[in-house]
Structure 1
Amino acid sequence: MKADLSQVKRLQVKLPLVLLFTLGSSGSIAATDLPQPSHGIDYPAGWDQWSAVAVSHRTDNNTIRLILGNELAVKAAREGQTNPWPDGAILAKVVWKDTELENWKAATVPGEFVHAEFMFKDSKRFTETYGWGWARWVGPEQKPFNEGAGVCVACHTPVKDRDWVFTDVPFFPQFK
């Protein structure tokens, strides 16, 4: 029974994402048609199947963000091993415009898709950017955003003592 409950919890997180990308996107991406690299980093195929790490809401630009992680990042987040994050961890931030829910005006939901951005932890490969590789793909067509990686470092400088990551990992109940 516990394994079934775990699977249900994963589906509860993944199913809305699948629906959002299936119903809300006009440009579905086939695995053979991956976007071009961003900042010399290949598009991380399959990221839409990763698990949730956190959410955030930016009031300065009215966006909702779902932070996902690859298996290593999720394990580190759940175990509190995030300062530093382990090599091989990848964090994805999926960004939508904040939109008022039609039938419940007090609630906001993801609206127009803005971009997907990623942080790749590899202390050997990304020595010049403090162990992180940054990449972003913009719009439903996932066009690579290739402005200098220094832009990312400059923005993340306020959290350099948190291994350059803004995300606060919330408590997740775990039953075994």
Structure 2
Amino acid sequence: MGSSLVATFSWAEQPDVAPSPNGITIPQNYKDWRLIAVSQRPETGTLRAILGNDAAMAAARAGNINPWPDGAVLAKLVVKQKNHPRYPTAMVPGEFVHAEFMIKDSAKFASTGGWGFARWLGEKQEPYGKDASFVQECVGCHITVQKNDWVFTGPINIP
């Protein structure tokens, strides 16, 4: 008989999280969004769950992701990976690292590929960046996937 492992992300609720330096506020209900994809970054020892709001989920299901429609919001929840104590070759979620968001609004964020970028660090969800210019780091990395509408990880293809 098989078993399944369900991983959950757990960190303290922060109802009064400060906005990012570019004015983006953390979506209040993002913890209820649905899974679009997963990824792993071995060089940083992290696992990532990519979630989407309703607009992103509808676009993913319809294959309407290049470009993503305005109103789509992607969340990436990043955790340290650790070995499962009873199955050492399995990687499971460890300590929460940060939450990142990409907000599609072609007009508002035209200078950054149509996407607004924001990140909050750790369980205290501290905004990332000293000032609004932090988004140039995001753009500098995401430009390598500009032909994929600036998104690295596409939706899981579920038959």
TM-score (norm 2): 0.90
Does structure 1 residue 153 correspond to structure 2 residue 139? Answer: yes
Pick which of 141-150 and 66-75 moved more: 141-150
Tell me the equivalent position of 2:18: 36
**Given that residues 99 and 108 in structure 1 are in contact (C-alpha distance below 8 angstroms), is that contact kept between their aligned partners in structure 2?**
yes
More helix by share: 1
CA deviation digits over 1:34-87, x for unaligned, max 9?
211112101110100000000001111110000000001011112111000000
How many residues are aligned here? 151
Cα shift readout 1:64-123 (whole Å, capped 9, x = no counterpart): 000000001011112111000000000000000010000111101010000000000001
Alignment identity in percent?
A: 47
Q: Is the 8 A contact 2:7 2:93 kept in 1?
A: no
The CA distance in 2 between the partners of 1:34 and 1:16, in whole Å, is 26
Q: Is the 8 A contact 1:34 1:45 kept in 2?
A: no
CA RMSD of aligned residues (A): 1.5
* Conservation of the 8 A alpha-carbon contact between 1:50 and 1:69: yes
C-alpha displacement at 1:16, in angstroms?
Answer: 4.7
**Partners in 1 of 2:115 and 2:18 — Cα distance?**
19
**Unaligned runs of at least 5 residues, structure 1:** 1-14
8 A Cα contact 1:84 1:163, kept in partner: yes
Which structure 2 residue ranges, 5 or more long, are not aligned?
Answer: 1-5
What's the TM-score once normalised by structure 1's chain length? 0.82
2:67 alignment partner, SS class: coil
Runs of 4+ with >4 A deviation: none
Q: Which residue of 1 aligns with 2:124?
A: 141
